[in-house]
Amino acid sequence: MKIAKIDHFVLVTDDLQKCVEFYERILGLEHVCEGGKHSLRFGSSKINIHTRAGEFAPFAARPGTGSADFCLICEGQSTQQLKTELESKGAQIELGVVPRTGARGAMQSIYLRDPDGNLVELGVYEGSDDSA
């Protein structure tokens, strides 16, 4: 077996409207609703949004809000430009810009929380045209 990529993961939200607004307005993800199932798409991945624990089967053993901690990789701008953009959109930055190590090596990261309290890390890899 060879695992290649993450296709999707699930976030549980207490407020679908606030959740979607954050990920669309602040992070620029695309909200899609198909067959009553909500997701946020970016690149070749997506985040499925459930409005209550256990909404769709099968589901995690202990689904709930505010327990996620994940990193999204950003391209096309430096971390300083990213920070300026986030601040202009009213995002509350918890930490950053700080050095971190991601799956591909050294990167610079900014941390913020979504409306449900999930920790969202935004990373830019060093050495890319966008890391300065």
Exposed e or buried b per residue across 64-80, where buried means at least 16 C-beta atoms within 10 angstroms of its C-beta: ebbebeebebbeebbbe
How many degrees, rounded to 5, is the angle at CA 21 between CA 116 and CA 40?
85
The stretches of the chain forming alpha helices (DSSP H) are: 16-21, 79-88
Backbone angles phi, psi at 71, to 5 degrees: -120, 130
The one catalytic residue in 24, 30, 34, 121 is 121
C-alpha to C-alpha distance for 131 and 79, rounded to whole angstroms: 6
DSSP element (H, E) containing 94: strand 93-102
Q: Is residue 75 flagged as an active site residue?
A: no
The stretches of 8-78 forming alpha helices (DSSP H) are: 16-21
Which residues are marked as active site? 121
